[in-house]
Amino acid sequence: MPRHRVLHLSDTHVSRTGPDEDGVDGVTALRGLLYDVRRVPQLDVVVVSGDIADDGSEEGCATVRDLVGEFAAERGIPHIYSTGNHDRRDGFTAALGSGHLGPDGSSIGRSAGLDDVIAAVSEINGLRVITLDSLVPGSGHGELGRDQLQWLTNELATPAPSGSIVVLHHPPVSLDAVAFMRSVVLQQPEELGRALAGTDVHAVLCGHLHHQLTGRLGQTPVWVTPGVITRIDLTAPPALARGVLGAGATVIDLGGPSDPMFHTLQARTPATGQEVYVYNAVTAAHVQE
């Protein structure tokens, strides 16, 4: 099977004005990370798994599109996006269309054609990339409706030459040791698991948790990439969510003898680990440890 290399980003959280709701400059974080990974070789595609715009704005999405698009254009590779809980579908569509963009910024995606969701598919040198829309407006958790899951099932019924990856924002896995996590991930993940069972999907790629995490949904590997804007420090007490600076990304190698392989990249900045916020994940109140 031909090999492919994916650069996986998530949670850029850029707004109209740049900083996110915690005052962190997402533009600077994204630029710094893209600079640090500029020499990673043999990339075939960049995927960004949601929370493109912290305020859901077209302007925020367009800024990320332009920065990631410049990186992709220099390498002659596509850049592909899915929605996250901070995104708004109107702002996302205005800036990114279906979310599947070629090296020159033109649309390469085939939309699912479903009402109220932005799901699409494209093929890159034999690798099928499917983006799903798990956004529930106004909520932190994710859902996939029956129509979207049926569309996914239909797409996967025919194998792709080099297999498939599925990209969505909300992970279908969680850590039981982190009490609040189960309430913010994809709900009813077993439904997605049924759609993936026995298919050619190498892996499900997600974001949202701002923390690297791996697991399985049935027999399908699931990877959660660290966030670009901030990362969650899981050394905090289980009821607390501690956000610190330190942009991260993942390179995924597909098609080799150990397929899939995931390895994380961390931006080189002296601010890494600096605390941005601590809040009680149950009450959502900011606290002092």
> Length of the chain, please?
289
**What's the token pair of residue 161?**
């030459």
Question: With bands split at pLDDT 50, 70 and 90, how would you rate the model's confidence at 81?
Answer: very high
Task: Decide: 25 and 63 in contact? Cβ < 8 Å.
Answer: no
| Residue 250 φ/ψ, nearest 5 degrees | -135, 145
Average pLDDT of the chain is 95
Section 216-220 average pLDDT: 97
pLDDT of 289 reads 65
271: domain CATH number? Answer: 3.60.21.10
29-43, 98-112, 274-288: range with lowest mean pLDDT? 274-288
2 vs 46, more confident: 46
Assigned domain for 37 exists: yes
Question: With bands split at pLDDT 50, 70 and 90, how would you rate the model's confidence at 237?
Answer: confident
**What's the token pair of residue 9?**
């980003």
Question: With bands split at pLDDT 50, 70 and 90, how would you rate the model's confidence at 180?
Answer: confident
Assigned domain for 177 exists: yes
Between CA 163 and CA 165, with CA 164 as vertex, the angle to 5 degrees is 145
Task: Decide: 96 and 46 in contact? Cβ < 8 Å.
Answer: no
Domain encompassing residue 196? 4-280
pLDDT tens for residues 48-57? 999 999 999 9
**Residue carrying the six token digits 């859902």:** 143
Assigned domain for 258 exists: yes
pLDDT of 190 reads 98
The pLDDT of residue 1 is above 80: no
pLDDT of 288 reads 67
Count of CA atoms in the C-beta half-sphere (13 A) of 102: 8
pTM tops 0.85, yes or no: yes
Q: Strand ranges (DSSP E) for 211-257?
A: 213-217, 220-224, 231-232, 240-244, 248-254
pLDDT of 282 reads 66
User: CA–CA separation, 94 vs 112, rounded Å?
Assistant: 17
Assigned domain for 289 exists: no
Assigned domain for 121 exists: yes
The pLDDT of residue 147 is above 80: yes
Q: Is the dihedral of CA 210, 61, 141, 199 positive or negative?
A: negative
Assigned domain for 286 exists: no
Burial of 219 (0-12, 13-18, 19+ CB in 10 A): exposed
- Number of domains the chain is built from: 1
Assigned domain for 285 exists: no
Question: With bands split at pLDDT 50, 70 and 90, how would you rate the model's confidence at 240?
Answer: confident
Reply yes or no: is the peptide bond before residue 221 cis, omega within 30 of 0. Answer: no
Section 97-112 average pLDDT: 98
pLDDT tens for residues 153-170? 999 999 999 999 999 999
